[in-house]
Amino acid sequence: MIPVISYLDKIHSFIESLDHETLSALQNISIEKSYPKGYFLLKQNEICDKSYWIKNGVARKYYLNDGKEITTELYFDNDLAVSFDSYTLQHPSRECIETVTNVTVSIIPYQKFQEAKSNYPALLTLDLMLAEYYAMWLENRLFQFYTQSATERYLDILHKSPHIIQSIPLSVIASYLGISLETLSRIRARI
């Protein structure tokens, strides 16, 4: 698989290497906030007009399908939480982003980031790197769904994020893996 985590390290290194003026501009448009478990950072049909950099805690992105919640993404420390389609095109989101635990996030409003990009060209590169990161993550997620069994996907989560079990309801994990809660229980019993 593509080393998505190492690309995230590359993004962090890039941010640290920004000149003082650009870094200061980025910090000036960032707001740090904390939210309790169960808070909606984004509701369905709202426009995703902010990006949320998860400083600590867990959030998830999901959509409703016939009244059933389908979790598509889990966000942990140092992840960027957005509804990519809604954020990029500034139209209503099909998805919700909800905190699974108490979280602290760094928020950057879409419009302020667009203005900053026009004044600080290095932020264009950062924006491109974030889009590339998301594309790589999505490619890996599709690869897992088409080539790995549910057990392998579960073991992958355990390997990458063992703290997930303590932080996230099993129903959310099952939804994220694309399996029923009963199937997840059987997988966990065999491990």
Residue 78: the pLDDT is 85
Question: Could you write out the DSSP letters of every residue in 117-181?
Answer: HHH-THHHHHHHHHHHHHHHHHHHHHHHHHHS-HHHHHHHHHHH-TTHHHHS-HHHHHHHHTS-H
Token duo for residue 187: 């997988």
Residue 36: the pLDDT is 98
pTM for the model stands at 0.88
Residue 77: the pLDDT is 86
State the Cα–Cα distance between residues 101 and 89, nearest whole angstrom: 29
Residue 1: the pLDDT is 44
Residue 126: the pLDDT is 96
Residue 127: the pLDDT is 96
Residue 164: the pLDDT is 67
Residue 71: the pLDDT is 96
As a whole number of Å, the end-to-end CA separation of the chain is: 23
3-class DSSP state of 9: helix
Low-confidence ranges of the chain (pLDDT < 70): 1-5, 164
Residue 76: the pLDDT is 87
In the DSSP assignment, the letter for residue 191 is: -
Residue 157: the pLDDT is 84
Place of tokens 């409003």: 109
Residue 4: the pLDDT is 61
